[in-house]
A and B are shown apart, each in its own frame.
Chain A
Amino acid sequence: MLVIKDLKVSIEGKDILKGINLEVNKGEVHAIMGPNGSGKSTLAQVLAGREEYEVTGGEVLFEGKDLLELSTEDRACEGLFLAFQYPIEIPGVSNTNLLKNSLNSIRKYRGEEELDAMEFLTLIKKKMAMVEMPQDLLSRSVNEGFSGGEKKKNEIFQMAVIDPKLAILDETDSGLDIDALRTVAKGVNKIKSEENAIVLVTHYQRLLNYIVPDFVHVLYQGKIIKSGDKTLAHELEERGYDWVIEEYNAKKS
C-alpha cells in the first residue's frame, strides 16, 4: 500500500530525513518509535503533504501512485489520513461542517454521490458510538476549547468517519491519561481492518499495549536503524534507545 524508498527531506536547508525505507501493506500496523528529534513527526507531516518541508531525494508510492506529486487534499482523497499530534483549533467551523465537507470532497474525488443530510447523520451517529464520542462535541467548533484528550478523540472520530486506507497517527498517545488512552486505542482497534493499514508514530511503548503492532521501527537521526516485531517495543521500554544507537554506531564504524 505504501512504499517509501530512500526518502530524504530537509527544512530550511537542514537535513531531517536521510534515507527512509519502509513498506506498509494492508492489514498491517506499524509503529515508528525513536527519541525526540529523530524525525518521526517530520515523516508523518511529509506524507500528509506539509509544504514547508523540502523533499530532496527518494520516492513514495501510495497504492502505486507517486504520493509526493499529489496535493495534500488529493492525498486525503486517495485515502491517506493524518491524526495530528497537535490538532488545530478552528473557531467558527463546526465539527459537523468539517466532516460533511470532508466526506463529500472525498466522495466527489472518487466519483461517488455526495451524501444527503439524512445519510450523513446516520453515518455520524454510527461512528460516534463506535469511538465513544460525546454528542456535544459535534456541534462545537473544531477543537476549540477541547481538552487534550477530547482533541485526540476527535482525531480518531474523524478517522472513523473518513475511513481511510492508511492512517498515520502522530503521537496520538501524548498528553492522554490512561482512561483517554484506552478509549482512543479501543476506537482505533475498531477501525482497524484487513483492508486498511495504520502507522503509529510514538515516543513511548504504552500505546502499543493497546494497539498491537505487527512491525516496530526505530528512527534515529533521520534513518530507520532497527526494525523488529512487537517484542522490540517492549525491549525499548525496558532498556531505552541507547543500546540500539550503540549497536547502530558499532555497525557503521
Chain B
Amino acid sequence: MDDKTVKQWFGDSFIRFEKSLNGESTSPLHLVRKKGFEKFSMLEFPTHRNEEWKYTSVKPLLNYRFDPNSGIVDISKEDIEKYLYDESIYSTLVFVNGKYYEKLSDLSKLEGKLEIMPLVKAIKSGKDEAINFALEILDKDADIFSSLNTAFMMDGTYIKVNDDAVVDSPIQIIYVTSADKETVTNPRNVFIVGKHASVKLIETYAGLNETPYFTNTFTIVKVDEYGSIEHTKVQDETRNSFHISTLEVNQKRGSHYAGYNVNFGGSLVRNNLNIHLNGKETETTLNGLALSKGTQHIDNHTLINHLEPHCNSHQLYKSILDDSSRIVFNGKIFVKQDAQKTNAFQENKNIILSDSALVNAKPQLEIFADDVKCTHGATVGQLDKDALFYLKSRGFSHKEALATLIYAFASDAVHSIQLPLVRDKLEVILSEKLLTPALS
C-alpha cells in the first residue's frame, strides 16, 4: 500500500478509536492523543532517502492493515509460562493486545516503595508526569512511529520509585499479542526513578500465534540524582511480526542506567535508543544482543548524548546472524562542548554463520569537547573452526559445539545483568533458537 492509503487507514481507525472511548474524548489524555495524531498526519513514513533509515525499509510493514482497536482476549498462565521468572521473587505485569491483564499480574510484593500501575490509570488519577512527558516528546522530535504511539496510547506501565527506595523485587512487564486479525499495539511506558532509589525491570515482548502483528512501543525513563535502574528488554516476537520501539532516557547527576537490549524475534525490528546525560558523573551501560535467522531484519539505532562533564558511557553490541538475515547497528555518540572528561566506549561485534547474511555497522561520533576519551570499534567475523573441531573432539555434537561457542561469544553483552534468572533464561532461549531451523 502507498503512504496515503496507510495513513487513511490509520485516520479511519482513529475515528473508530474515538467512538469507542465513550465520553472520554475530551479528557486530557485524549487531547494528547489528538496532538499525537495531528503530528502523525503531518509526517511521512521514512524511506531509504532518510539517512536514519538508509538500511531499513518499512515497506513490508505498510502492506498490512494493522488494527489498533483489537480487543483483549483471554489467555492462560501456560501461554506465557516460558517468559515468567520465579514468582516468589518477581513482580509481574501482563498486557494482552496492549491492554492490562490483571488476572495474570501480581504487584503484591511492591507495596510502599513505589507507585506502579497501568498507564491509563496513572493518567486518570492525575499523575501529570505521564502526560507531560508525552507532550514534551511530541513538541520535540517525535517521529512518525512515536507519534502513532501517542495517537493510540491505550495502556502501558507507569512506575515511580520513591526517593531512597531500594526495590528488591524485580519487576517483569510482559506484552503479548494474541489476535486472530492483524493488530497493532502501542504500549507506552513511563519509568521514573527517584533520588538514590534503585529498581530492576525486565520488559518482554512476545506473540502467541502466527497472525502478523505490529508492536509499536515507546518508553520514557527518568533517573533522578544518584538513582539507579537496570532495564532489560527482551524482544522475542513471532517471525511474522513487526517491532518498532523508541526509548528516551534522561539521566540526572550521578545516576546509573544499565540497559540491555536483547532481540531474538520479529521479521522487521527497529529500536531507537536515545540516552541523554543531563547531569554530571553519570554512568551508562547500553548493551545489545541480537540473533537473526531466516530473513529477519534487526536494526538498532543508539544515541548517547553527553551533555555534562565527567560522565561514562559504555556500549557493547553483539550479534549473531544466520541464513539471509540482516542486522544494522548505528551508534551515535554526541559529546557536547561542556562535556569535558567524558569517557565514551563503543564496541560492536558480529558473527556471521552463513554466506548470505549481512551486517551494516556504523559508528558515528561527534565530539565538541577537547578533553575526552572516546573509543569505538566494529568487527564482523565467523566462528572459529578450530574451536568447533576441538569441542567436537571432546564429544560435543555439532549443534552443542555451535551453541556453546556462540553463547561464549555473546555472553559478555549480558553477563553484567544482575539478575541470574534473567541471564540463565537468555542462555536457554539463545541455545533453543540456535538449535531450531529458521522458518522461511
Nearest CB in chain B to that of A75: its residue: B393
In the bound complex, what is the Cα–Cα distance between A158 and B391 (angstroms)? 12
Cross-chain contact of B390 among A51, A84, A106, A141 (Cβ < 8 A)? A84
Tell me whether A90 and B397 are in contact (CB under 8 A). Answer: no
The stretch of A21-29, A91-99, A202-210 in contact with B is A91-99
Cross-chain contact of B386 among A76, A88, A101 (Cβ < 8 A)? A88
Interface 0/1 of A30-71, CB less than 8 Å to B: 000000000000000000111100000000000000000001
Least Cβ–Cβ distance between A117 and chain B, in angstroms: 15
Least Cβ–Cβ distance between B101 and chain A, in angstroms: 38
A residues in contact with B395, CB < 8 Å? 73, 76-77, 101-103, 105-106, 109, 162
Whether a CB of chain A sits under 8 angstroms from the CB of B412 is yes
In the bound complex, what is the Cα–Cα distance between A87 and B397 (angstroms)? 19
In the bound complex, what is the Cα–Cα distance between A71 and B397 (angstroms)? 9
A residues in contact with B411, CB < 8 Å? 92
Tell me whether A92 and B386 are in contact (CB under 8 A). Answer: no
Tell me whether A101 and B408 are in contact (CB under 8 A). Answer: no
Cross-chain contact of B412 among A49, A84, A92 (Cβ < 8 A)? A92
Q: Tell me the residues in window 367-426 of chain B with beta carbons closer than 8 Å to chain A beta carbons.
A: 384, 386-387, 389-398, 400-401, 404-405, 407-409, 411-412
Least Cβ–Cβ distance between A69 and chain B, in angstroms: 16
Interface 0/1 of A103-136, CB less than 8 Å to B: 1011001000000000000000000000000000
Tell me whether B407 and A92 are in contact (CB under 8 A). Answer: yes
Least Cβ–Cβ distance between A24 and chain B, in angstroms: 18
Tell me whether B405 and A90 are in contact (CB under 8 A). Answer: yes
Tell me whether A48 and B408 are in contact (CB under 8 A). Answer: no
Tell me whether A48 and B396 are in contact (CB under 8 A). Answer: no
B residues in contact with A84, CB < 8 Å? 390, 393
Tell me whether A71 and B394 are in contact (CB under 8 A). Answer: no
Tell me whether B404 and A76 are in contact (CB under 8 A). Answer: no
Whether a CB of chain B sits under 8 angstroms from the CB of A227 is no
In the bound complex, what is the Cα–Cα distance between A109 and B393 (angstroms)? 14
Cross-chain contact of A72 among B384, B393, B412 (Cβ < 8 A)? B393
Cross-chain contact of A76 among B387, B394, B409 (Cβ < 8 A)? B394
Nearest CB in chain A to that of B412: its residue: A92
Tell me whether B400 and A50 are in contact (CB under 8 A). Answer: no
In the bound complex, what is the Cα–Cα distance between A84 and B389 (angstroms)? 11
B residues in contact with A103, CB < 8 Å? 395
Tell me whether B393 and A82 are in contact (CB under 8 A). Answer: yes
B residues in contact with A50, CB < 8 Å? 389
Nearest CB in chain A to that of B401: its residue: A73
Least Cβ–Cβ distance between A114 and chain B, in angstroms: 12
Nearest CB in chain B to that of A93: its residue: B408
Least Cβ–Cβ distance between B424 and chain A, in angstroms: 14
Nearest CB in chain A to that of B386: its residue: A88
A residues in contact with B401, CB < 8 Å? 73
Tell me whether A49 and B407 are in contact (CB under 8 A). Answer: no
Least Cβ–Cβ distance between B379 and chain A, in angstroms: 14
Tell me whether B387 and A90 are in contact (CB under 8 A). Answer: yes
Nearest CB in chain A to that of B398: its residue: A73
Least Cβ–Cβ distance between A251 and chain B, in angstroms: 37
Tell me whether A98 and B412 are in contact (CB under 8 A). Answer: no
Tell me whether B408 and A158 are in contact (CB under 8 A). Answer: no
Tell me whether A48 and B393 are in contact (CB under 8 A). Answer: yes
Cross-chain contact of A91 among B390, B398, B408 (Cβ < 8 A)? B408
In the bound complex, what is the Cα–Cα distance between A58 and B386 (angstroms)? 26
B residues in contact with A88, CB < 8 Å? 384, 386-387, 389-390
Interface 0/1 of B47-59, CB less than 8 Å to A: 0000000000000
B residues in contact with A101, CB < 8 Å? 394-396, 400, 404
Least Cβ–Cβ distance between A68 and chain B, in angstroms: 15
Tell me whether B405 and A76 are in contact (CB under 8 A). Answer: no
Least Cβ–Cβ distance between A105 and chain B, in angstroms: 4
In the bound complex, what is the Cα–Cα distance between A89 and B392 (angstroms)? 14
The listed residue with most A CB atoms (<10 A of its CB), out of B390, B404, B405, is B390
Least Cβ–Cβ distance between B98 and chain A, in angstroms: 38
In the bound complex, what is the Cα–Cα distance between A238 and B393 (angstroms)? 36
6 nearest CB pairs, A to B = A92-B408, A105-B395, A76-B395, A72-B392, A102-B394, A88-B390
Residue numbers of A with Cβ under 8 A of B are 48-51, 71-73, 75-77, 81-82, 84, 87-93, 97-98, 101-103, 105-106, 109, 141, 158, 162
Question: Can you list 28 pairs linking A and B with CB atoms under 8 Å apart?
Answer: A49-B392, A50-B389, A51-B389, A71-B392, A72-B389, A73-B397, A73-B401, A76-B393, A76-B394, A76-B395, A77-B395, A84-B393, A88-B386, A88-B387, A88-B389, A89-B387, A92-B409, A92-B411, A97-B404, A98-B391, A101-B394, A101-B400, A103-B395, A105-B394, A105-B395, A105-B396, A106-B395, A162-B395
Residue numbers of B with Cβ under 8 A of A are 384, 386-387, 389-398, 400-401, 404-405, 407-409, 411-412
Extra pairs beyond A76-B393, A92-B411, A103-B395 (19, CB < 8 Å): A73-B393, A81-B393, A87-B390, A88-B384, A90-B390, A90-B391, A90-B408, A91-B408, A92-B408, A92-B412, A93-B404, A101-B394, A101-B395, A101-B400, A105-B394, A105-B397, A105-B400, A141-B408, A162-B395
